[in-house]
Amino acid sequence: MTVRVLTEQDWPAAARLYAQLNTKASFVADAKAQANFAKVLRHDGTFIYGAHLNGEVQAMATLHLMPNVTYGGRPYGLIENVVSDKAARGLGLARAEMEAAIEEAWLANAYKVMLLTGQQNEAVGFYEKMGFSSDDKIGMILRRP
């Protein structure tokens, strides 16, 4: 297994994983989605880490390093869109990509790394094993009607 930052050439694998990410959200692997993937990759402070098994991207996670005014101007990390291919779950791929993203945040001197996950998501235990906690903060979302 290897972990690296994805590039635009990884779009086909990323599209396959995005389709598995959230079956409630509409995702279409079209030219617009591909352009948005490229835009995210070019965004300063954003990294999409991919875990590769047998040369194929089998899992990915996005890290956004956000500028900040408090904490001496140190950034914070936001991890989103963590997904492993259904056939490759339980192999440590998500852990490896998450560890790479977290290390990137610490190298950038981030004072914290946070993420949101669904309340009914079986991944909660996975994130807790990695050291994430919901003790300090409550995540809240406002969606556009």
pLDDT tens string 43-102: 999 999 999 999 999 999 999 999 999 999 999 999 999 999 999 999 999 999 999 999
pLDDT score, position 23: 67
Residue 80: closest CA among 114, 111, 120, 52: 114
Model confidence over 1-47: pLDDT tens digits? 999 999 999 999 999 999 998 766 778 889 999 999 999 999 999 99
Residue that wins the pLDDT comparison between 104 and 118:
104
Q: Which strands sit side by side in the sheet containing 56-66, from one edge to the other?
A: 2-5, 46-53, 56-66, 76-84, 113-115
pLDDT score, position 72: 97
Question: How is the chain split into domains, by residue range?
Answer: 2-129
How far the first Cα of the chain sits from its last, in Å, is 41
What confidence category does residue 117 fall into, taking pLDDT thresholds of 50, 70 and 90? Answer: confident
In terms of phi and psi (left: phi > 0; alpha: psi -120 to 50; beta: otherwise), the region of 93 is alpha
Kindly state the tokens that stand for 130.
Answer: 């990695």
Please give the CATH topology (third level) of the domain spanning 2-129.
Answer: Aminopeptidase (3.40.630)
> Taking the model in full, what pTM does it have?
0.92
Mean pLDDT value of segment 115-126: 82
Q: Is 109 helix (H, G, I), strand (E, B) or coil?
A: coil
- Asked whether residue 113 carries a pLDDT value surpassing 80, the answer given is yes
